[in-house]
Amino acid sequence: MPLEPAQLKDWRKTERERLIAARMALPAATLEEYRQRIDRSLELSFPGLARSRLAFCWPIKHEYDARHFARTLRERGALTAMPVVVAPKKPLVFREWHPGVKLAVGALNISYPVDSPEVLPSAVILPMNGWDSQGYRLGYGAGFFDRTLASLAKRPVVIGVSYELAKLDTIYPQKWDIPMDYVVTERGVYRRDAEGLAYLGEPQRGEGSQMASPVCYLGEVERD
């Protein structure tokens, strides 16, 4: 049943707080295990990221920490960037990130690059407070990423990252909500199709893995 605007706002606020609290309660060892499993799934399932312009977010509140993976990708030739807030209700810009780049601290204690070149990403790794069976994301409520993705002339491939504990039946998506192309959790990789998210599995290193690498085959995340 659809929710009225006021009900939806309250529901999302309540769910966001609940899911963040559950995430914050995870032990450090569990968070590190999840990070390594997500790193492995990203590396094995999306090899084209090493040839991409990849945007990722500074982690807060026990989100998946993409900085380790971003360092690895830069060593392999990727260009990496982080989002920067320009003004309220305006699209984000992306500035190049590399180890040692000058950073400032903004809202929610989120660090971002300053004075580095702007980058138009071909792929985005996007943290999610919650996610649903159709691939829609519950963020922090400001709408920055939906607004930004809608504004880009060429939309990047968007990979939502989260944990299985954050899965919801629905976030009650609105017309402005943009679904993820893929979702990666500690369990493995999901891909969005016409029927919603389809679970592809957890990739494994070495011969004998049965999991396809769809992005590699389609060339979706390589640089132009």
Domains of the chain, residue spans: 5-218
At residue 220, the pLDDT reads 55
Residues 6+ apart with CB under 8 A from 48: 123, 215, 216, 219, 220, 221, 222
Residues 6+ apart with CB under 8 A from 30: none
Predicted TM-score of the model (pTM): 0.90
Contact 147, 85 (CB under 8 A): no
pLDDT in tens, 198-212: 999 988 776 544 455
pLDDT in tens, 182-192: 999 999 999 99
Where is 148: in which H helix or E strand? helix 144-151
Tokens of 214: 């769809």
Lowest mean pLDDT among 69-73, 86-90, 156-160: 86-90
Kindly list the strands in the beta sheet with 196-201, ordered across the sheet, starting from the edge strand earlier in the chain.
93-96, 79-84, 53-55, 123-127, 157-161, 182-185, 188-193, 196-201
Number of helical (H) and strand (E) elements in the chain, helices listed first: 5, 13
Classify domain 5-218 by CATH architecture: 3-Layer(aba) Sandwich (3.40)
Alpha carbons 183 and 198: distance in angstroms, whole number: 10
- pLDDT averaged over every residue in the chain: 90
Query: How much of the chain is helix, strand and coil, in % rounded to 5?
Result: 30, 25, 45
